[in-house]
Amino acid sequence: MPAGTKVKVVSDLIQKVNLRWDPPKRLKDANLLEHGLLCVLSRELSESKAEATLKALRRDFDDWNVLRVSQVQEVAPSVQGKDDGQNRLVAAMIKQYLQEIFQQNHGFDLEFMREDMAEGAKMFIKCTYLGVPAAYYLLWIAGDEAMPITLDMVRVLDRLGVIPRTTSLRKARTLIEPLVQKKGGELELASHLGEVLERWCDLRRPKCWLCPLADGCPHGKKVVKDWKAQQERIEAARLRSESRAEAQRQKDAQRAKREEDRKARERGRLTKKLEREREREQRRLAAEAKKREKELNAKKRAEELARKKVEAKKKAELEKKAAAKKRAEDAKKAAAKKKADDAKKAAAKLKAEQARKAAAKKKATSKASKTSKSKAAAPKKASTASKASSKAKKKVTKKTAKKVTKKVPKKATKSSAPKKAPAAAKKKTARKTTSSAKKKSVRKR
């Protein structure tokens, strides 16, 4: 490539690549560690505030290790930010920078880089938080403002087609230093190359499709072409995947729809089955309820019929007892009446008999008196005997008549419903009394 073309490529690089932060001015009384810290502070603070913060940190902390292990709220008061939020953010950045340097160097003395630039470059390139532009800034200071040369820088320029690839830093310096367009432009070129290295031109995975230098970079064109082809393949694969996914989604949707239809039919069948079973159960329960009601009604009717039978039986028994009682009373009354009639008849008959006997006696006495007059010599014994017999007859007839008339009404009043057998017995006794009275009267005669 001609020298003019190389210069043009380098000038395009400086114009097209925008720095995310401007490198700070070099401080005379600051070491490499403090210059690195100044680069970190310049990302959030202005140059004047960054320098004021650096002075405050020197004043407030005994050494850098004390600052590293301090809390954010302890470091924030030394930061000269615009508000407390920015102060805390800057304090966290300071701690992270010091922690990264401590992990890479196991200390905070970076002055050895002035004697061994290659070793210092390797260590600073590994500091990802510090960044490649800041690493080139520190290498620029360590080399007394000479162009910092690294193999990564050679790789970028080789990909741009400016210089050939080499592993010798001395040879690379002879190839790169002529590309500086103005006096003191070493830091500017190094900062822009560091920006390209950090953001796009990675060794294994370059992002040439994002790099603003891809149009004039042969390697970038090839990478962009391959990337586009890859993106097309990825897009085609994505479309195929989406097509397959869409087809699969449609199949899944159809399958889900069929499954849902099947489940719906199954639910419908199950619902109908349950409805039939429910109706069957309702009919069964209704039949059982009807049967129970029928049995209950039959039982009630049977109980009612039995109750009526029992009541009818009781009523019949009561009627029977009442009829029997009435018959017994009627019979008793009839017997008593008959007995009373018989007693009356017996008394009347006895009275008539007594009257007849009295008349006969009177007649006999009158006749006897007549005969006594005619027969004067009648024995005294006979007269006394006849007197005694007549007296005895009178007594007997009077007593029996009284007994008959008195006993009959008393017995009739004691029991209102006498039995047939006692009435007949009484009739017999009355007959016996009357017959015995007649016999006695006859005997006395």
Q: How confident is the model at residue 146 (pLDDT cuts 50, 70, 90)?
A: confident
Which pLDDT does position 96 carry in this prediction?
A: 92
**Per this entry, what is the length of the chain?**
445
Q: What is the pLDDT of residue 71?
A: 92
Rounded Cα distance between 119 and 23, Å, is: 22
Q: Nearest to residue 43, comparing CAs of 92, 5, 1?
A: 92
- The percent of residues in the chain predicted with pLDDT above 70, rounded, is 82
Q: pLDDT band at 131, cuts 50/70/90?
A: confident
* pLDDT at position 95: 92
Residue 119 scores a pLDDT above 90: no
Lowest mean pLDDT among 56-60, 283-287, 355-359, 377-381: 377-381
| Gap between the Cα atoms of 359 and 381, Å rounded | 24
Which tens digits make up the pLDDT trace of 172-201? 888 888 888 777 788 888 888 888 988 888
AA letter at 118: A
pLDDT of residue 18: 87
In this prediction, residues 391-410 reach a mean pLDDT of 48
Angle between helices 132-142 and 117-126 (to 10 degrees): 160
Q: Which of 91-105, 260-274, 333-347 has the lowest mean pLDDT?
A: 333-347
> Which residue did the predictor score with more confidence, 193 or 433?
193
Residue 435's pLDDT is: 57
**Cα 265 → chain centroid:** 30
Contact status, residue 159 vs residue 202, Cβ threshold 8 Å:
no
- E strand intervals along 23-158: none
Domain boundaries, the chain: 3-213, 217-304
- Residue type at position 220: G
Give me 300's structure tokens: 């009630």
pLDDT tens, position by position, 271-323: 999 999 999 999 999 999 988 898 889 888 888 888 888 888 888 888 888 88
- Give yes or no for residue 92 having a pLDDT over 90: yes
Helix (H, G, I), strand (E, B) or coil at 445: coil
pLDDT tens profile 26-80: 888 888 888 889 999 988 888 889 999 999 998 989 889 999 999 999 999 998 8
Query: How crowded is residue 330: how many other Cβ atoms within 10 Å of its Cβ?
Result: 12
Q: How far is CA 104 from CA 36, 101, 123, 125, in A?
A: 14, 5, 7, 11
The residue-averaged pLDDT of 387-391 equals 52
The residue assigned the tokens 């809390």 is 71
Report the chain's C-alpha Rg in angstroms: 80
